[in-house]
Amino acid sequence: MNLEIYLPVALLTMASTLMAWRQPRMHPAWHARLLILLIGATALTVLGMLAFVVMIAIGTLTAANATVLGRVLIGHGQVPAPVAGVVIVLLLIIGAGVIHAVARWHRDLRDAKALGTGVVADERPFAMAVPGRHGGVILSKGLLSMLSRRELEVVLRHEAAHIQYSHHLYLMAGTIATRIFPALIYPYRALCFAIERWADEQAAAAVGDRELTARTIARVALAQPARDAGGFPSLTGSHIARRVEALLGQSPPDNRITGPVLLSGAWMATGSAISPTLTHHASLLLVLL
């Protein structure tokens, strides 16, 4: 295979990892949007590359497509049958992983909605944002008993931000991307952190007290440090110490101008990286069909 076919995947993977490693000085809302754009583009490019390898391997020369397909095969070289077999197995594993992730998400959503919304009779202190028509914020009795009115407002504002900005869709898309390309796990963890920081900043702005927000998050985390939120965003979901430290510092910039500009630039850059590749693959598919 020609090495150029791997170039878009390599570039997008490096861009995703760099964005996760060197967080820019910007509002976490824009950081999360940039990360999910890069993560999604990388996963789509990986899928396209694997599908292209299989198409090259199983492509059949006929009188109608001999000229076009012949040029493609000459340019990329023949794919050995064992390599094609491995790629097909990988695609099957990816498909099974994606199906499993979606099924688990639906199961967790059903279980979460079965708890109801509002206050639930559970002595463990926790809060959860459940998306969907019958979703909402879930608070436990244990959490209510340990928090003051102002601290409870922080929790509600945090969870409401998760629902308002559809953070569950970010997490679901990121999870599917990691099933497609496990190398995206590090950017995905950065995405989880950015989403929680996003909700933290929304809560801090709503209550007008960053120190109170930091203290509330720390209290809930210490009371219930390890709780599986079932794939949904929750107050103690990611990197508590770093989030508290960030809240005790200065507010991040709003980036009302630079944020959209950066996101638009990243969109154009990723499009420039993957569009020629996907167009090339689609053209070959049309020839084979």
Report DSSP letters for 125-187, one per residue.
--EEEE-STT-EEEEEHHHHHH--HHHHHHHHHHHHHHHHTTHHHHHHHHHHHHHH-GGGHHH
Q: Is the pLDDT of residue 35 over 70?
A: yes
Residue 24: pLDDT over 80: no
Q: What is the mean pLDDT of residues 170-181?
A: 95
Across the range 66-86, mean pLDDT stands at 63
- 239 and 196 Cβ atoms separated by less than 8 Å: yes
Residue 227: band (very low, low, confident or very high) from pLDDT cuts 50, 70, 90: low
Which pLDDT score, from 0 to 100, does residue 63 have? 46
pTM assigned to the model: 0.85
Residues 142-174 have pLDDT tens digits of 889 899 999 999 999 999 999 999 999 999 999
Report which listed range, 225-229, 240-244, 279-283, is most confident.
240-244
Percent of the chain topping pLDDT 90 = 42
Tokens 């989403």, located at residue: 195
pLDDT at 42: 93
What is the predicted pLDDT for the residue at 246? Answer: 92
Helix (H) or strand (E) holding 39: helix 28-58
pLDDT tens column, 45-73: 898 888 877 777 776 545 445 555 555 55
In single-letter form, the type of residue at position 63 comes to A
Residues 58, 8, 67, 74, CA torsion sign: negative
pLDDT tens digits for range 98-124 = 999 999 999 988 888 887 778 888 888
